[in-house]
A and B are shown apart, each in its own frame.
Chain A
Amino acid sequence: MGRTFTEKILGRKTGKDVVPGEIIEVEPDIAMSHDNTAAISKTFYKIGVDKVYDPKKHVIILDHCTPAANEKFAQNHKDIREFVKKQGIENFYDINVGICHQVMHEKGHVWPGALIVGSDSHTTSYGAFGAFSAGIGRSEMAAIMARGKIWLRVPETIKVVVEGEFPPGVSAKDLMLKIAGEIGADGALYKAIEFCGPTIDAMSVASRFVLTNMAVEIGAKAGYMIPNAETLEYLRGRVKTPFEIVESDRDAIYEAEYKFDVSVLEPMIAKPHTVDNVVPVAEVKGTKIDQVFFGSCTNARVEDFEVVTNVLRGKRVHPDVRMLVFPASAEVYIEVLKKGWITDLAEAGCVIMNPGCGPCMGNHEGVPADGEVTLATSNRNFKGRLGNKESFVYLVSPMTAAVSALTGKIEDFRE
């Protein structure tokens, strides 16, 4: 009987064949944590262990509130800096590097066939590079620091086949919102998702990442894709660990299969307050907006900047709109700076912020006022997500965000 990617990776880690539903104990290859490492380190010491089991496996990246918004965040960062020094954790990235899920692959901590866990729900992202990666809780990360292991349930796999060529301007974000709308917020609960088909094979690294990043928004434990040529080229020179690409067998068993044809895809939008509350942008066209949040681990890479800059160059953001721009990482920031795009965006009236999560979970840098509407290129629009439960968040592609920023209303860019 054929096996899925997930069954192969988890089987290899346990040294035996595994089947969906089975509960196994595994040693992850990489364990990622971010600003929550301060709390994790306190829990770790409570266990009664002095030294981290394997410091080389841990990657710690500060991004959730950088630079610190107040003395509590500052103390949190300080505790982490002291912890990584004391424990000899070399893979530490301070506030000047970027969003954890971007930095992980930029710095070579993600490779095809790796088993990665992270104390952040969007850890599903690394499946775009052919890794198995899943989010875990803080205490679980502390337990990994203490004994190197974690239990996982072997998930069933859902296949999502994508075909067709994107219409001009329609992108991976529109596709992912469409998938979320159709499959629903719990449509892939506890499951692994395998994205495949000619469209996925032809997509850029940044676009593929959008899908695995948001796999968790439909409940998935992990998202996966066979790394394509562009992905392998991207990883070359970054990854130091030797790796082998793992693929599902042709006769692997899938629990369900969905097909999407992007050639008929429209620009999509997730309305407040759930990610699966999705409609074509045309249905909410004309809704007044107060803020645009262009950033997050979902959509703030170079290709996203290219789209947004091409729309805004030589124009002005609507005077009633605050457009906040957060590059996903310092690497992205420097590249778009060198291209002159930061100048274009600043001249268009955008507020250029530092790489990091920004207002994504309401910590700082762009909390909206009561009744205000934010158009966001991020991944969640839950009530209160940006720090104010009396505000409204719509999720869109960078293209929709940029075109709407010019008029101050939600726009269907095809018009």
Chain B
Amino acid sequence: MIIKGKVWKYGNDINTDVIFPGKYTYTVTDPKEMAKIALEDLDPEFAKNVQKGDVIVGGTNFGCGSSREQAASCLLYAGVGAVIAKTFARIYFRNCINFGLPALTSAEAVDALEHGESIEIDTEKGEICCKAGVFSFPPLPKEIVGIFDAGGLIPYTKKQLGLE
């Protein structure tokens, strides 16, 4: 898969409350509405201006805090093509895989990328191409790549159960 878009760069410890505020977890359920409040408490400009394929770049511990998976799915609904971080909080990382949102780990890329620059990601080659050069990211472990390749945990579970 090729992902092409603009970089939205943020800092360390971006938590799920600022990605998808807790007060909406039971009241905002429509994907279009979820997209509109993505990153509401972090960057009010994001949801208004994000374009399909754009990439969120965070530092360490991206997605810490609550287990709410809307913090992953709202970005997908907003058109985000991938999230690149130095490290991910574990439940957030799981939620990304489960929704088929590429969560890529590359500390070098994070340091090199600038807010607003255009980048291209080749998920098969495991490469991030940007102004500063080409950076690689590790593939998903073989045990879980099947979940991502199936398009997420729900299609994967259907397959496991022979329901597809």
Q: Which residues of A contact B (CB under 8 A)?
A: 23, 25, 35-36, 38-39, 43, 46-49, 64-65, 70, 72-73, 76, 119-121, 123, 135-140, 142-143, 146-147, 151, 153, 185-186, 189-190, 219, 221, 274, 276, 360-363, 367, 380, 382-385, 387, 389
Give the 7 A-B residue pairs with the shortest CB-CB distance, closest first.
A361-B22, A186-B61, A362-B23, A23-B143, A382-B17, A384-B41, A48-B163
Bound complex: CA of A190 vs CA of B92, how far in Å?
11
- Contact, CB under 8 Å: B13 / A143: no
- Contact, CB under 8 Å: B69 / A72: no
Asked, given contacts A137-B67, A380-B65, whether A73 binds B158 with beta carbons under 8 Å apart, the answer is no
Given the complex, which residues of B lie within 8 Å of A146, measured CB to CB?
Answer: 157, 161
Residues of chain B in range 88-129 having any CB-CB distance to chain A below 8 Å: 89-91, 94-95, 98-99
- Contact, CB under 8 Å: A147 / B22: no
Residue B154 interfacial (CB < 8 Å): yes
Residue B60 interfacial (CB < 8 Å): yes
- Contact, CB under 8 Å: B25 / A361: yes
Q: Which residues of B contact A (CB under 8 A)?
A: 12-13, 15, 17-18, 21-23, 25-27, 29, 40-42, 60-61, 64-69, 72, 87, 89-91, 94-95, 98-99, 141, 143-144, 152-154, 157-158, 160-161, 163
- Contact, CB under 8 Å: B17 / A380: yes
Given the complex, which residues of B lie within 8 Å of A137, measured CB to CB?
Answer: 67, 69, 72, 91, 94-95, 98
- Contact, CB under 8 Å: B143 / A151: yes
Pairs across A and B, CB under 8 Å, 17 listed: A35-B26, A49-B163, A121-B67, A135-B91, A138-B69, A139-B69, A139-B152, A139-B154, A147-B157, A147-B161, A185-B64, A186-B12, A186-B89, A189-B87, A367-B23, A384-B41, A389-B40
Main secondary structure of the interface of A (DSSP, over half): loop
Question: Chain A: which residue is nearest B96 at the CB level?
Answer: A137
Bound complex: CA of A212 vs CA of B71, how far in Å?
24
Given the complex, which residues of A lie within 8 Å of B89, measured CB to CB?
Answer: 186, 189, 219
Chain B nearest CB, measured from A371 CB (Å): 16
Given the complex, which residues of B lie within 8 Å of A276, measured CB to CB?
Answer: 13
Question: Chain A: which residue is nearest B59 at the CB level?
Answer: A186
Question: Chain A: which residue is nearest B14 at the CB level?
Answer: A382
Bound complex: CA of A72 vs CA of B26, how far in Å?
7
Asked, given contacts A139-B98, A147-B160, whether A46 binds B154 with beta carbons under 8 Å apart, the answer is yes
Asked, given contacts A23-B144, A219-B64, whether A139 binds B99 with beta carbons under 8 Å apart, the answer is yes
Bound complex: CA of A254 vs CA of B161, how far in Å?
38
Given the complex, which residues of B lie within 8 Å of A35, measured CB to CB?
Answer: 26
Given the complex, which residues of B lie within 8 Å of A360, measured CB to CB?
Answer: 22
Q: Which of A49, A186, A367 has most chain B Cβ within 10 Å? A: A186
Chain A nearest CB, measured from B56 CB (Å): 17
Chain B nearest CB, measured from A13 CB (Å): 15
Bound complex: CA of A76 vs CA of B29, how far in Å?
11
Chain A nearest CB, measured from B120 CB (Å): 29
A143 is contacted by which of B18, B41, B91, B157 (Cβ under 8 Å)?
B157
A186 is contacted by which of B64, B69, B143 (Cβ under 8 Å)?
B64
Bound complex: CA of A43 vs CA of B143, how far in Å?
23
Given the complex, which residues of A lie within 8 Å of B143, measured CB to CB?
Answer: 23, 25, 151
Chain A nearest CB, measured from B31 CB (Å): 13
A136 is contacted by which of B23, B67, B154 (Cβ under 8 Å)?
B67
Chain B nearest CB, measured from A128 CB (Å): 19
- Contact, CB under 8 Å: A135 / B26: no
Given the complex, which residues of B lie within 8 Å of A135, measured CB to CB?
Answer: 67, 91
Given the complex, which residues of A lie within 8 Å of B160, measured CB to CB?
Answer: 147
Question: Chain A: which residue is nearest B91 at the CB level?
Answer: A135
Q: Which of B94, B99, B163 has most chain A Cβ within 10 Å? A: B94
Chain B nearest CB, measured from A26 CB (Å): 12
- Contact, CB under 8 Å: A385 / B17: yes
Q: A120-B66, A143-B154, A147-B160 are in contact. List 17 more A-B contacts (CB 8 A).
A: A38-B26, A39-B29, A48-B163, A73-B27, A121-B65, A135-B91, A138-B67, A146-B157, A147-B161, A185-B64, A189-B89, A189-B90, A274-B13, A276-B13, A361-B22, A361-B25, A387-B21
Bound complex: CA of A146 vs CA of B161, how far in Å?
9
- Contact, CB under 8 Å: A47 / B91: no
Asked, given contacts A39-B29, A146-B157, A362-B23, whether A219 binds B61 with beta carbons under 8 Å apart, the answer is yes
Given the complex, which residues of A lie within 8 Å of B22, measured CB to CB?
Answer: 360-363, 384-385, 387
Bound complex: CA of A137 vs CA of B61, how far in Å?
17
Bound complex: CA of A382 vs CA of B40, how far in Å?
13
Chain A nearest CB, measured from B39 CB (Å): 11
Given the complex, which residues of A lie within 8 Å of B90, measured CB to CB?
Answer: 189-190, 219, 221
